[in-house]
A and B are shown apart, each in its own frame.
Chain A
């Protein structure tokens, strides 16, 4: 009896990973090119920006809030960093400036959401408009080209084999795992998200925790934006738009609960990879454009359904084993 529960428990814990592995196996059978090194690298490169933003989204959703400004912040901070690089030629300075811009947006988001207690949905939706306006005000609708060495943030290969975009995924993933699992701040995030009132009762400064979370989210968005611009080899503010919904999708497929308090960095990475692999295999197989959208939509629903169902079972088992 005990053993059975254990097996079921691991099955539930890794439900998203199982979906991903099943998809990879199926893809490998369907297409001979799928498991080549270059193709795997391609998938990782393609999901890099979304994944970086998803980590931020995951952290914010854990606290029970949402960040809809991620995409445009990425577009704005990325483009301003490109502009500064073209003007000064300093990679360190422009990368730092981009991160500061992201942090600044996070600071403002946090001010209204954590301090003034406004709904994050509204504040970050408004911030979408503000940040996009803030970049197009300067560029006047033009894009920035000939960005020189800035493209190394998206196109360089480290040690001759590791694309820098994949390095960024790994780096940000490790940061997020440490943050969520091994710091006091991380535990506070879960506490705030699962029950804000009892978190207050336990002496957690909810305002401060949420505020810091939004600042970190802004920085992550900025880094994602700079990777995106590097990959595009141009500063294109509008390219950031829409990434926030992709990030929500990856986060939720990865097992993060919309009601807060539940979610992991690795789960988010897996969620992002599920969507990435799906896009990739459909292109490899030459699936027609409109059909692709339908399949993608249904698979996401199925993945979330599978995840939710397995979690429901988990709670019933807990009661039974008592």
Chain B
């Protein structure tokens, strides 16, 4: 039994090394040689190296690729933050839909799994592999701006999407203004929170630019406009529902009266709502968030959440690809634009339920 296992393992290892060696060779070449020559030569060499049966396949591949290069099909790479995060997944989905409208483009997705070093490695690889355009959904725009500028000046156009450009001067940028997002919800809150109301605030992770920006929006359009409102406490709940819930449970013990929960995203607001519901105190409170994804929309429909502001991923995709098209045609070098946020409350919630049904968030 043990022998068998060890023989199997050795086999696996052998196969593994052979396969990985093969891969290394081809990538080394691709970075050195030019595209067309490389395709032909590689096909020839590999045909020699490998078993005869596989040769026809390789030829077909080479033919396909050379066909593609005749049609000038642009290779576009999307580097999302984290495909396991709801908004990043939705944005990627909308971009995939949008690219189909441009027959001369094809898009590959390389996930960064929420790790900055992975994203930077992906970026480096995409530039080395000669992608024609890179859409970067940056994890840390400020940290990535410099390298992005370097790649753009070396000839690979890049777009930073859904985050600020971090000070990059040469990349395109499609972003939503977090201050505006906060402001949109803050205006509703300013109307609904009663005179001398008492509120608690849930913040995202420390130092997060969107959390800080949204907070600024609330400051300008709620707390500065309504100085009668008292802020009881303000804590970091790291975008997490369970943490929002824990803070709210404690707050309801510490403070006899809470009129509203101001949260920098929906998940934390919904956590606070669960806690308030469990204590039977949710009726006289209002809850405000930002994001406008499926969870928030359903909660608004059920009379839970009061208002939220959505970043419309579809608009990001539409406007993003308009810019990419112009850049690839050589009409412009780059363009920076802001997508306005949209308010969701009980008045237009049905519309948004439909939108999220279409993109598969609500099943």
Contacts and interface: CB of A to CB of B under 8 A. Distances in A.
A141 B240 contact: no
B360 A142 contact: yes
A310 interface: no
Interface in A285-322: 285-286, 289-290, 292
Interface in A91-144: 132, 136, 140-143
Contacts of A284: 250, 253-254
B84 A231 contact: no
Main secondary structure of the interface of B (DSSP, over half): helix
26 contacts: A33-B254, A36-B253, A39-B250, A42-B249, A42-B250, A42-B253, A46-B249, A136-B83, A140-B83, A141-B82, A141-B89, A142-B86, A142-B294, A142-B360, A143-B294, A145-B295, A155-B274, A228-B242, A231-B274, A232-B241, A232-B245, A286-B233, A286-B254, A289-B203, A289-B234, A292-B235
B85 interface: yes
Interface string A262-288: 000000000000000001100111100
A140 B360 contact: yes
A142 B361 contact: yes
A234 B253 contact: no
A28 to B, nearest CB: 13
Interface string B226-265: 0000001111100011100111011101100000000000
Given A232-B245, A239-B242, A142 B89 contact: yes
B355 interface: no
A232 B274 contact: yes
Contact of A33 (B235, B240, B241, B253): B253
Give chain B's interface residue range (CB within 8 Å of chain A). 35 or more
B55 interface: no
Interface of B: 82-86, 88-90, 203, 206, 232-236, 240-242, 245-247, 249-251, 253-254, 267, 270-271, 274, 278-279, 294-295, 298, 360-362
B274 A143 contact: no
A44 to B, nearest CB: 11
A210 interface: no
Given A33-B254, A284-B253, A289-B203, A141 B83 contact: yes
A231 B254 contact: no
A261 interface: no
Contacts, number: 89
A286 B251 CA distance: 9
A280 B235 CA distance: 13
Interface of A: 31, 33, 36, 38-39, 42, 45-46, 49, 132, 136, 140-143, 145-146, 155, 228, 231-234, 236-239, 279-280, 283-286, 289-290, 292
Contact of A141 (B84, B235, B253, B254): B84
Contacts of B271: 232
Contacts of B233: 283, 286
A63 B134 CA distance: 49
A76 to B, nearest CB: 12
A39 B253 contact: yes
Contacts of B241: 232, 234, 236, 239
Contact of A145 (B235, B251, B253, B294): B294
A280 B86 CA distance: 30
Nearest to B278: A155
Contact of A289 (B86, B88, B236, B361): B236
Contact of B86 (A33, A143, A155, A290): A143
A239 B85 contact: no
A218 B90 CA distance: 31
B253 A238 contact: no
B268 to A, nearest CB: 12
B246 A239 contact: no
Contact of A46 (B234, B235, B246, B274): B246
B240 A239 contact: yes
B113 to A, nearest CB: 9
A191 B242 CA distance: 38
Nearest to A33: B253
B85 A145 contact: no
A2 to B, nearest CB: 46
Nearest to B84: A136
A233 to B, nearest CB: 5
